[in-house]
Structure 1
């Protein structure tokens, strides 16, 4: 089956690689235009664009998916189906109607839970025990199309958004190829999403990553891990921002929320329930470092409070 793949970030690479290795013919790739990246802010292609070039696949980079030149080229490629993974732009009816079997999206949650831009992060931060990936037929309403298949994945105690998304991207790639195999054969039917159980996963803001020490330690732990690696959890000490890596929850309730206690081996912070231990921090303008090293170098005053 002739397909055109749409995706942009590294998360989409396992799916692109799996499709190239499959029986399907990837005749084109659609991705976001080159963007400025790194300290030099130089224009660079997306990870998907770079991988497509490595595979010798034509790359399309429309500013908008409604651009006439893009739509003309998409029609000329004659895809039977267009799989999508984290493309990052809305697809309107003009594009959706091009392939015979439509556009098929891989989304990193078990729909209808966590529709939107940050399903993995929001799932962790909400305290979910299980998440997964869903392949569904794309419609104009956000992540609301009928489901073609899903897999589930337990959220581990040490998962960050980064580690969980890495696993889901691999599992999801296999699911996506399997769905396309069945679409080609014609022995799969899309199932309408239930109307109950819908939740929304808005893109994380910097404020979402501001650690709230007045919450229970479980919630603090999940907030930090859900914001790792991006946008990165943070707190403040004396008005200066301090980035915080995933913490360790203890069974001790010895400190008031936000209050810090330093020993030779660890740095503890109080929450609404039990204390947590900081593992790694990054002071403003400096490199990440072990929390104990930071505390010694900062010479924290007794009674210091993170806000």
Structure 2
């Protein structure tokens, strides 16, 4: 930690709970400012890749690198798991993109309760996929909310909130990284305020509630009858996962990036080379594409090995 950097005056016993890489910067920063992380909870390793080998979560990898105790229960509903959590005698639990339900006994176990790092301006986009849903909806801004957890879905009172813009070129991966860093920046002040008893939560507004339902894999299938602006947002929102795709000459193509252009034609038809496809309104000029089993490439590179003439219909 740089000389003169912030360091907490009240070290707390913390439990950190997460599965994706979203909470990793927060985990690292909490240690840097002087807190004690007594355990890290994450989901169990899952099969991945061609060999289906078990792969630990990004949170488990980070925790092991930092020399922290890692716990990977499949559920927190059974009494043994709840007793093990309570035995940690934590002051506070910090949750971010964990993916498991926390029963009331777990929520009540830490002295200061449990708080959640949520990637939206609550109550907008409660739920599993707030970053992607905000981009899909064409929102001009989103942000990071830190709230006290209760039994409802992201319904708890707000402890801190900051907004960030969603620019016309922002992808889900870029927004994920921005909000992950913002969470790490905001969190130490929140922990210190809770420990000192000087930070008080405000109830969420009762208006403006929307839900960010979990992404389904088939949401990546492009329907070119939609307006080009909606298609372009989908390319950014589903980057990198689950990805957007269409079919050409019986092969699946991943469309990684594109831009709206003023062209017209039968929706789903290539109207200009190397890869401009007509939509229900205007067209999308694809700027990055990937064939199955290949590396990402430009449309010009695609045309050299997989030529698609003007008039090609994409399925």
For the residues of structure 1 that align with 2:93 and 2:313, how far apart are their CA atoms?
A: 52
Query: Are 2:15 and 2:41, in contact at CA under 8 Å, matched by a contact in 1?
Result: yes
- Cα deviations across residues 186-235 of structure 1 (Å, max 9, x unaligned)? 11111111111111111111221112212222111101110110000111
For the residues of structure 2 that align with 1:23 and 1:211, how far apart are their CA atoms?
A: 48
Structure 2: runs of 5 or more not aligned = 1-11
- 1:259 aligned residue: 269
After TM superposition, the structure 1 = structure 2 runs for residues 169-248 of structure 1, keeping only pairs within 5 Å, are 169-248=180-259
Deviation larger for 99-108 or 241-250:
241-250
- 1:297 aligned residue: 305
Deviation larger for 140-149 or 54-63:
54-63
- 2:80 aligned residue: 69
- Cα deviations across residues 105-139 of structure 1 (Å, max 9, x unaligned)? 00000000111111000100110010001000111
Give the count of matched residue pairs: 304
Displacement of 1:239: 4.1
- 1:41 aligned residue: 52
Task: Give me the TM-score of the superposition, normalised by structure 2.
Answer: 0.92
For the residues of structure 2 that align with 1:297 and 1:46, how far apart are their CA atoms?
A: 36
For the residues of structure 2 that align with 1:244 and 1:99, how far apart are their CA atoms?
A: 46
Structure 1: runs of 5 or more not aligned = none
CA RMSD of aligned residues (A): 1.6
- 1:90 aligned residue: 101
Displacement of 1:47: 1.6
> Is the alpha carbon distance of 1:45 and 1:285 closer, same or farther for their aligned partners in structure 2, counting shifts above 3 Å?
closer
- 1:286 aligned residue: 294
- 1:129 aligned residue: 140
For the residues of structure 2 that align with 1:221 and 1:33, how far apart are their CA atoms?
A: 35
Secondary structure class of the residue paired with 2:252: strand
Deviation larger for 59-68 or 101-110:
59-68
- 2:5 aligned residue: none
- 1:11 aligned residue: 22
For the residues of structure 1 that align with 2:161 and 2:148, how far apart are their CA atoms?
A: 12
- 1:118 aligned residue: 129
The answer on 1:274 being equivalent to 2:292 is no
Secondary structure class of the residue paired with 1:150: strand
The answer on 1:141 being equivalent to 2:149 is no
- Cα deviations across residues 155-192 of structure 1 (Å, max 9, x unaligned)? 12221111111011000122222211110111111111
- 2:62 aligned residue: 51
Deviation larger for 178-187 or 69-78:
69-78
